[in-house]
Structure 1
Amino acid sequence: MSVKKLLVLPGDGIGPEVMREVGRVIAWLGRRRDLRFEITEDLVGGASLEAYGTPIRDEVITRAREADAVLFGSVGDPKWNHVGFDRRPELAILRLRQDLGLFANLRPAKVFDALIDASTLRPDVIRGLDIMIVRESVGGIYFGEPRGVETLPDGTKRGINTEVYTTAEIERVGRVAFDLARKRDNHVCSVEKHNVMESGLLWKEVITALQAREYPDVKLTHMLADNCAMQLVRNPRQFDVVVTGNLFGDLLSDLASMLTGSLGMLPSATLGSVTADGRFPALYEPIHGSAPDIAGQGIANPIAQILSLAMLLKYSFGMEAEAAMIEDAVSAVLASGLRTADIMSDGMARVGTSVMGEAIVRELDKLQGCPPAYGVPSSAISKNGEG
Structure 2
Amino acid sequence: MSHSLRSDIGLSAISAGFVAVLVGFASSVAIVFQAAQAAGATEEMMVSWIGALGLGMGLTCIAFSWYYKAPVITAWSTPGAALLATSLVGIPMAEAVGAFLFSALLTLLLGLSGSFEKLMSKVPMPIASAMLAGILVQFGLSVFTSMQTQPALVGIMLACYLAGRRWLPRYAIILVLAAGFGASWLLGLIHFEQLHWTLGKPVWVSPEFRWSTLIGVGLPLFIVTMTSQNIPGVATLQASGYGDVPISPVISGTGLTSLLLTPFGGFAFNLAAITAAICTGPEAHPDPAKRYTAGIAAGVFYLLAGLCGASVVALFSAFPEALVASLAGLALIGTIGASLSVATGDEHSREAALITFLITASGISFWGIGAAFWGLAGGMLAYRLFERGR
Output the TM-score relative to the length of structure 2: 0.24
State the structure with bigger RCO (CA 8 A, min sep 6), 1 or 2. 2
Larger Rg: 1
**Going by fraction, where is strand more abundant, 1 or 2?**
1
**Going by fraction, where is helix more abundant, 1 or 2?**
2
Output the TM-score relative to the length of structure 1: 0.24
